[in-house]
Each structure stands twice: as structure tokens, then as C-alpha cells.
Amino acid sequence: MCGRFAFFSAHEATLKLFGLPEGTPAIEPHYNLAPTRFVPTVRVEHDGVRRLAMLYWGLVPHWAKEKAIGARLINARAETLSEKPSFRTAYRKRRCLVLASGYYEWQALPSGKQPWFIRRPDGAPFAMAGLWESWIERPGEAPLESCAIITTEAGGRIAEIHHRVPAVLGPTHYATWLDPKLTDTAVLAPLLQGPPDGELEPLAVSRRVNNARNEGPELLEPAREAG
């Protein structure tokens, strides 16, 4: 699963990589983004332009009776997207990129759970495949826009840490994934793959990240022990 991640990449690099227009506001750096926080995403708006959207992490389906369901829907399994009532409509109609500089995963070791920060070797940001929904609690209120991160089977070095990994989209697939007119899941499903072995690398980091209230670049300091 993906239960915590970070985004702290440079603004200009973010605009260029994700095709965002000039004037897009800079994203405040966060080193410990947790469920029920608002996280940076990119989606195509009604005018056909890619735009940054800060979405609540924990998908709340439009038919939900209460917001609390979102805390249980932070991830969506790629293998069952077309079957699950919570995700199948968003899969066809409301897709987004969830922007990350890296994500955290925990490995069970004799000394306790060791957090790993999984990132690109060059430090560049990347896109995790996401879904989004709009939910209104009461008529007349502003909608809550929320998202979930799609996960798939891990492989290579990452599988030694955890058996699931976010579905990572390459830049050549952004346009297809974000196209609101594309509803054919036979075209979408092949895009939902884990990163090729070596594209992301794990770094054992401070256990301070275990507490979701902790923030700052010091969370990425190498762990003194990882075994």
C-alpha cells in the first residue's frame, strides 16, 4: 500500500514535467503527507487544461453518507478497479496524477518497523496514478474533492520491503491517463504498472517519520541501522 508520501520538488521542474501552465501556484513542501491531508494532484479541467488541484487524501464516493469512509479508501487496487463500487466510476471518468518526490514504506525487522523512503535516484518528482471524486454532504455546501492512490504488485528490490507499490505513470502516459473522454478500461489497465526495477530506489530513513505529526527534511536523514 501507499500510506505516506512526500512532495518537495522545485516549482519550475514541477511545471515542466507535468505540463502545468504558468501562473500555477507553488506547492508548499511536505515531507510527511498522511491520509486525510490535502495532497497535490494534476487533472484536466473542463477547459481541457491541466491544472494543479489539492485534493483530500481518502476517496469519498459521491454516494457516501459520511466523510469518514475516505479514511478507509486511501488506496485502490489496480486489479479490482472495475469491480469495486467505490472506484469503478472514477476509474472511467475521474483520473488524476498524484505528485510525489517519494513515498514511505515500512519493513518488519527484528529491531522493529523500519521506514524506507522510495524515490527516483536523480531526485526528480514522479506521478502516482490516482482517482478523484466530488462529494457534497448537504445541499448548498461546497463539494469535498478527494482522491485515492492506485497500487499494484511490487517487483524487484521494492518487493523485499512490501508486496504492493503505487502504480507509477511515465510522462508519455500522462495524456492518456488524464484524458476525460477516454473511458475504455482496456486502454487504461495496461498503464497501471509498478516502476521498472531500478527506476525507484529505497533509502532507510529516520523512524521519526512514523509519527504523522513530524515534518521537515530531517525525516529523510539516513537511518543509523536498517537491519
The DSSP result for 121-180, as a single string, is TT---EEEEEEEEEE-SSTTSPPEEEEEEEEEE--HHHHTT-SEEE-EEPGGGHHHHH-T
**C-beta separation of 148 from 61 below 8 A:** no
Based on the number of CB atoms within 10 Å of its own CB, is 195 exposed (0-12), middle (13-18) or buried (19 or more)?
Answer: buried
* Nearest one of 148, 147, 123, 94 to 217, comparing CA atoms: 123
Q: Which residues are catalytic?
A: 2, 105
CB-CB neighbours of 82 under 10 Å: 14
Q: Identify the helix (H) or strand (E) that includes residue 88.
A: helix 88-93
